[in-house]
């Protein structure tokens, strides 16, 4: 099991522990990831889920601004429109959503969470364009026909689980090619969230020399990460209440120091995993706004 496969499975278990999905749905999704029933039960227990039939542990309600009754206000400016595009990949046509900045000061690859390319990720690309950075939100399920073709979130996660790190790297590099074609002369950056944060770390460790800046948001670190092949300035974003991902924070810091990369590690207090996703139950508007300001300042310093 790769670090990303382990992360995806733990993400399902954590969603159940936090009351986001019921036990039956967690078991179904773990089955899609290849877990036997005993292995799935063991993983849920290891992640703190109550035994089957036990009363679930109450979880704190999300901030009032993120409850269904009060739609969350996204961090950052109103997004510019995105355009659905296709472009050549290493093995098949790739898909994505591109948002063009009127006078781009740089170009950014946006990498989605473990449910594939959705409207939230498109919105992030649009917000970056509004901030002056043309942005391409890549669909890492392009080889399966795209996120929409794959179906519901559990199927999307399973499809990502079945892909290899080498495939992800090749497709992300092709997306950088497309960004270069659409914004010639622009410095390139990357940002990813959750699973996409892990993909950002993976791209940095692939020896990709074109990145000038990167910002992995609460993403799992690849095993034996080595960033010696890049000169990117890296902003690592973490959440205080995210012990699972934070367990690799020190290793990420060490790898960045060993590569002599300019970097900053920021941990937002009173925030949990996926705090930036304004469509999800863990959205933290305070941390989201602060991290957006930090992100765009970082890109202003290293891409513009």
Q: Are residues 46 and 147 in the same domain?
A: no
In a domain, 134, yes or no: yes
Q: Are residues 148 and 194 in the same domain?
A: yes
Q: Are residues 28 and 75 in the same domain?
A: no
Q: How confident is the model at residue 50 (pLDDT cuts 50, 70, 90)?
A: confident
Q: Are residues 10 and 102 in the same domain?
A: no
Q: Are residues 296 and 190 in the same domain?
A: yes
**In this predicted structure, what is the pLDDT of residue 70?**
61
Q: Token match 């993909």: residue?
A: 199
In a domain, 61, yes or no: no
Q: Report the distance separating Cα 83 and Cα 96, nearest Å.
A: 8
Q: Are residues 17 and 150 in the same domain?
A: no
Q: Are residues 39 and 91 in the same domain?
A: no
* 201-247 residue pLDDT tens: 999 999 999 999 999 999 999 999 999 999 999 999 999 999 999 99
Please choose, from the candidates 74, 80, 113, 114, the residue with its C-alpha nearest in 3D space to the C-alpha of residue 97.
80
**In this predicted structure, what is the pLDDT of residue 66?**
39
* 101-148 residue pLDDT tens: 999 999 999 999 999 999 999 999 999 999 999 999 999 999 999 999
Range of the domain at 121: 66-302
In a domain, 113, yes or no: yes
In a domain, 172, yes or no: yes
Query: How many domains does one find in the chain?
Result: 2
Handedness of CA 73, 76, 79, 84 (dihedral sign): negative
Q: Token match 């090749």: residue?
A: 170
In a domain, 60, yes or no: no
Q: How confident is the model at residue 58 (pLDDT cuts 50, 70, 90)?
A: very low
Q: How confident is the model at residue 77 (pLDDT cuts 50, 70, 90)?
A: very high
Q: Are residues 176 and 34 in the same domain?
A: no
Whichever domain contains 200, its CATH number is: 3.40.50.1820
* 249-288 residue pLDDT tens: 999 999 999 999 999 999 999 999 999 999 999 999 999 9
In a domain, 289, yes or no: yes
Q: Report the distance separating Cα 105 and Cα 8, nearest Å.
A: 34
Q: Are residues 214 and 127 in the same domain?
A: yes
Phi first, then psi: what are they for 62, rounded to 5°?
-70, 165
């Amino acid at each position: 099991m790769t670090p990303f496969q382990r992360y995806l499975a733990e993400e399902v278990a954590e969603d159940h522990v936090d009351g986001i999905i019921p036990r039956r749905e967690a078991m179904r999704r773990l089955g899609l990831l290849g877990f036997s029933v005993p292995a799935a039960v063991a993983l849920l227990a290891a992640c703190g889920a109550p035994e089957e039939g036990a009363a679930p542990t109450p979880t704190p309600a999300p901030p009032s601004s993120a409850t269904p009754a009060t739609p969350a206000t996204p961090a950052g400016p109103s997004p510019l429109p995105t355009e659905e595009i296709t472009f050549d990949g290493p093995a098949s046509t790739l898909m994505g959503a591109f948002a063009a900045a009127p006078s781009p000061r740089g170009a950014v690859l946006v990498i989605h969470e473990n449910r594939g390319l959705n409207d939230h990720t498109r919105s992030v690309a649009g917000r970056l364009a509004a901030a002056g950075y043309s942005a391409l939100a890549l669909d890492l399920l392009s080889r399966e026909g795209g996120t929409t073709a794959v179906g519901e979130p559990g199927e999307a996660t399973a499809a990502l689980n079945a892909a290899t790190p080498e495939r992800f790297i090749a497709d992300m590099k092709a997306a950088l090619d497309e960004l270069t074609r659409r914004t010639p002369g622009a410095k390139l950056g990357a940002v990813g969230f959750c699973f996409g944060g892990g993909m950002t770390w993976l791209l940095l460790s692939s020896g990709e020399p074109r990145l000038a800046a990167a910002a992995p948001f609460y993403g799992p670190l690849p095993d034996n990460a080595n960033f010696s092949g890049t000169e990117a300035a890296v902003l690592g974003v973490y959440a205080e209440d995210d012990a699972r991902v934070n367990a690799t924070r020190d290793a990420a810091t060490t790898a960045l120091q060993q590569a002599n990369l300019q970097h900053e590690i920021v941990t937002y207090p009173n925030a949990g995993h996926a705090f930036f996703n304004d469509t999800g139950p863990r959205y933290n508007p305070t941390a989201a706004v602060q991290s957006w300001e930090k992100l765009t300042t970082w890109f202003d310093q290293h891409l513009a």
